[in-house]
A and B are shown apart, each in its own frame.
Chain A
Amino acid sequence: MAGIVSYGAYIPKYRIDRKIIYKAMGWLNPATYMPGEKAVVNFDEDSLTMAVAAGMDCLKGIDRNNVDVAFYAGTTAPYLERQSAQIMATAFDLRSDIRTADFTDSTKSGTTALLSAFEAVKADGAKNAMVCASDCRHGKPGSAQEEIFGDSAASILMGQENVVADLIGSHSVSYDFVDHWRAAGEKFDRQWEDRFIRDVAYKNFIIEAITGLLKKTGVDIKDVAKVAYPCLYPGDFKGIAKKMGLEQSQVQDPMLANVGYTGTSNSIMLLVAALEDAKPGDKIIVASFGTGSDAVLFEVTDNLEKIKSNHRGVKKHLAAKRELNSYEKMISFRNILPLEKGIRGEAMPFSAMTELWRSREQILGLCGSLCKNCNTPQFPPQIMCVNPECGVVGQMEKYRFADKKGKLFTYTGDSLAYSVNPPAIYGMVDFEGGGRYWFDITDLDLDDAKVNMPVEMSFRRKYIDEKFGIHSYAWKAVPVLD
């Protein structure tokens, strides 16, 4: 049977206590108060970078040459034209003879992409098909969305061999229900009245999808170990469980109190969280919400235990937490607050798309070269070997650094360089197994930096050139999570 063969997740390290948001903006709309904290991106993260991070987690232990399909799902892709899935595939160093697509415009598109990946695999159209669902949705300052929205990504790899959870069946419902919308060119969602969304859509669509799924598959809800669905309204979230006859233990924690409602990635993230705690034989239902709902039923196989330790998933990312104690920083990192950049910060060197094309594997994929004569890895890829004892010409093969760890052999925290999160930390990284280069360092406070500290690589946004509408990406070093 076909189903899930691997999974991954990413939750940004920064968490902000909702009290900080409320303290800053609660005066505008006192009814927005929510308890708990939520996950928020650093200044150099967005929907695409999180998708890549979740995908990198998912691809651990997987032969990338078997990935024939790659889908991005999310409503907050950096480009309307220029496919996120393709940028992602280049970052993963996937083959070029694959199919890529973005599933977007609805927060249910994560499960829709997942079903499409499943169908591609089941129809023998792909050995492995990958989905990275990610969202980084911005609530307007002072809105309830600003309190509830969190940022995260999750990834699923579908296949027919070494399946860890068989996909048993699915049921989808689709309605042009306008609970919220965002026209082309707008940064923030507009939303209709909550009562309308609660009473007409949220509960009804999810229940309709799950009920249809159970009917189709002939499964009794009592035999399902976990049911995972997003929480938009805590009261109605419980109402769905009650209506479906679910015990408390059957309901997957929606992580509203520690991550937030993460849009398109939400259902996939909850599925990954359910898999992390699942046992062989467990049945898991995941349902999404957004202009309808997709409900999908999985049954866990004996293979799951074999891959659990390969992936950081939800749990390890949840544990790797840094407190963000400033509302102003949160909205600055999201480019909501216009900042004084100074002339140095405004200056924007030209981005040549021709250069990006010919150097895409090194810029987006962090691929260097390995000297076949002396086995020295080198970045960027060289034609003449950098090892002075070797120096052979043209004896190189591609060598991927993105999944290599390294140590920071020197660094600085630069207050002169413009950064939205100063000081700009960068340093030189010696990779395990060879290779050295200098990189920006992110997700690190200068006080915590140490010579020889272990680092790994993370795909991040390098800059936004507003004049040319370019979001540029590169790999940065981050402290090793484990």
Chain B
Amino acid sequence: MAEGIKDKVAIIGMGCTRFGERWDMGSEELLVEACTEAIEDSGIEKKDINAAWFGSCMDDNNVGKSALPLSLALKLPFIPVTRVENFCATGSEALRGAVYAVASGAYDICLAAGVEKLKDTGFGGLPDMPSALGTKNRFLMPNVTAPGGFAMMATAYFAKYGISPKEGKEILATISAKSHKNGINNPKAHLRREVTVEQIINAPMIAWPLGLFDCCGVSDGAAAAIVCRADMAKNFRPDPVKIKSMQIAISSGEELMYQDWDGSNVRTAVHCAASAYEEAGIKNPREEISMMEVHDCFSITELVAYEDLQTSARGKAGDDVRDGFYNMDGKIPCQPDGGLKCFGHPIGASGLRMMYEMYKQLQGKAGDRQIDNPSIGLTHNMGGFPAMNLISIAIAGL
């Protein structure tokens, strides 16, 4: 019987660059900045790292397809370095690789790092997907962009629950407004400006029904973590953060090709959350989770994540949004660092950035945005489209 990884691995150091339009920084500079912070935070030295996992996604405007860029940037001394990629959940994959390697007993100390240099494309938004899904999709796939792929979930959600576009957009705007408010207190965030619900509703349409402020920032940035065996973590620091669970679930094709998914949820997230909660021993997520960083690439993704993660009942997430359940002073503060929405979304770094926030919050080092006494933090990192995707969930605690 597999026993899982609960409490076998601890995070002892993390680093994260300021996210944003880093016109003056390349991937190498961003990686060095994030990894240096992580190594200094952990108290280890570079030579103590046994192996490293490196995440990057968009090869054509980033660093290419090998693990070399991390090794070369950090001058890692001939140790194993693996590059991983899983769309927008790439950062979580880097962390998962490092965590599972330590949990397996193969290594004592590993580095996970992720970077994305998105602002070298020359246009807004993410690059189009047809080339990222292989030669056949170049011929077959519709003209889909990231906002459009998720907008279809908003259309389906509104239709399923009989929500008018006006009412739906109000709920979604409330989600984005909350994240903008949180982002103000995060000096590393890409977007630090309060935006009203009215401004959000009236913003230019990007992919109906999602407007400009329903979409997250497209940013440059890097993040990194040092993980080690839980039983040795206190040698390095008094407040290591333990990994309670790291799970991933990936689409089987049913959503896209079989008529039993209604488009109003992310099926992988339901499966992934069930595995993660079981591994972490969480029975009642709405009561037990202290805080979350969910994959709010678009406001609708966050709304649906509340339901998929069972912190809101099906069809009732909008009520929780209106009630402020996920605000900083609510029961489960969500996106305390501003989320993808305002911290920004350098793909290869995002999953690690989510954990960076949980780590700082659990240690009580989140500054102006510190949540009172959190014990369990959850990250929810998504790659792909609702119709075809993967969800990576990590649960961490002291």
Contacts and interface: CB of A to CB of B under 8 A. Distances in A.
A438 B142 contact: yes
27 contacts: A343-B121, A347-B127, A347-B128, A349-B128, A349-B138, A352-B135, A352-B138, A359-B139, A363-B140, A378-B258, A380-B140, A386-B257, A388-B258, A410-B156, A412-B209, A412-B210, A416-B124, A416-B206, A417-B148, A417-B207, A418-B143, A423-B208, A428-B152, A436-B258, A437-B256, A439-B142, A440-B143
Contacts of A434: 259
Given A440-B142, A451-B155, A452-B159, 19 more contacts: A351-B139, A352-B135, A378-B257, A380-B140, A388-B252, A409-B262, A412-B151, A412-B209, A412-B210, A414-B145, A423-B207, A435-B257, A436-B257, A436-B258, A437-B257, A438-B256, A438-B387, A462-B139, A472-B139
Interface of B: 121-125, 127-128, 130-131, 135-136, 138-145, 147-148, 151-156, 159, 204-210, 252-254, 256-259, 262-263, 387
A426 to B, nearest CB: 4
Nearest to A391: B252
Contact of A344 (B125, B142, B210, B259): B125
A332 interface: no
Nearest to B386: A410
Nearest to B155: A410
Contacts of B154: 412
A142 to B, nearest CB: 32
A48 to B, nearest CB: 16
A416 B207 CA distance: 7
B131 A376 contact: no
A378, A412, A436 pick with most chain B CB within 10 angstroms = A412
A342 B121 CA distance: 11
B166 to A, nearest CB: 15
A411 B259 contact: no
A435 B257 CA distance: 6
A86 B147 CA distance: 37
Contacts of B209: 412
B136, B142, B257, B263 pick with most chain A CB within 10 angstroms = B142
Contacts of A347: 127-128
Interface string A141-175: 00000000000000000000000000000000000
Given A359-B136, A362-B140, A413 B256 contact: no
Interface string A341-383: 0111001011110111001001100000000000010111010
Given A351-B139, A438-B387, A379 B148 contact: no
A412 B152 contact: yes
A315 B280 CA distance: 66
A424 interface: yes
Nearest to A475: B140
A197 B259 CA distance: 59
A362 B257 CA distance: 14
Contact of A426 (B148, B252, B253, B263): B148
A427 B141 CA distance: 11
Which 4 A-B pairs give the minimum distances between C-beta atoms? A414-B148, A349-B131, A412-B151, A426-B142
Contacts of A351: 138-139
Nearest to A412: B151
B255 to A, nearest CB: 9
Given A344-B123, A359-B136, A363-B139, A415 B256 contact: no
Contacts of B142: 424, 426, 438-440, 476
Contacts of B122: 343
Contacts of B148: 412, 414, 416-417, 424, 426
A350 B138 contact: yes
Contacts of A474: 139-140
A303 interface: no
Nearest to A419: B143
B141 to A, nearest CB: 8
A446 interface: yes
A409 B252 CA distance: 20
A430 interface: yes
Interface in A68-120: none
Nearest to B141: A438
A423 to B, nearest CB: 7
Contacts of A363: 136, 139-140
Contacts of B147: 414, 416
A140 to B, nearest CB: 30
B156 A342 contact: no
A387 interface: yes
Contacts of B207: 412-417, 423
A373 to B, nearest CB: 14
B135 A355 contact: yes
Nearest to A385: B258
A35 B394 CA distance: 68
B243 to A, nearest CB: 31
A379 B140 CA distance: 11
Contacts of A414: 143-145, 147-148, 151, 206-208
A439 to B, nearest CB: 6
A387 B208 CA distance: 31
Contacts of B253: 382, 386
Nearest to B252: A388
A417 B145 contact: yes
Contacts of A438: 141-142, 144, 152, 256, 387
Nearest to B60: A347
Contacts of B125: 344, 416
Interface in A379-410: 379-380, 382, 386-388, 409-410
Contacts of A378: 257-258
A350 B131 contact: yes
Given A411-B155, A440-B143, A428 B136 contact: no
Nearest to A366: B140
Nearest to A359: B136
Contacts of A409: 156, 262-263
A114 B263 CA distance: 48
Nearest to A352: B135
A428 B386 CA distance: 11
Nearest to B156: A410
Nearest to B137: A349
Contacts of A387: 258
A420 B263 CA distance: 28
A439 B121 CA distance: 26
Contacts of B130: 349
Nearest to B209: A412
A309 to B, nearest CB: 30
A386 B388 CA distance: 13
Nearest to A477: B142
A108 to B, nearest CB: 35
Contacts of A388: 252, 254, 258
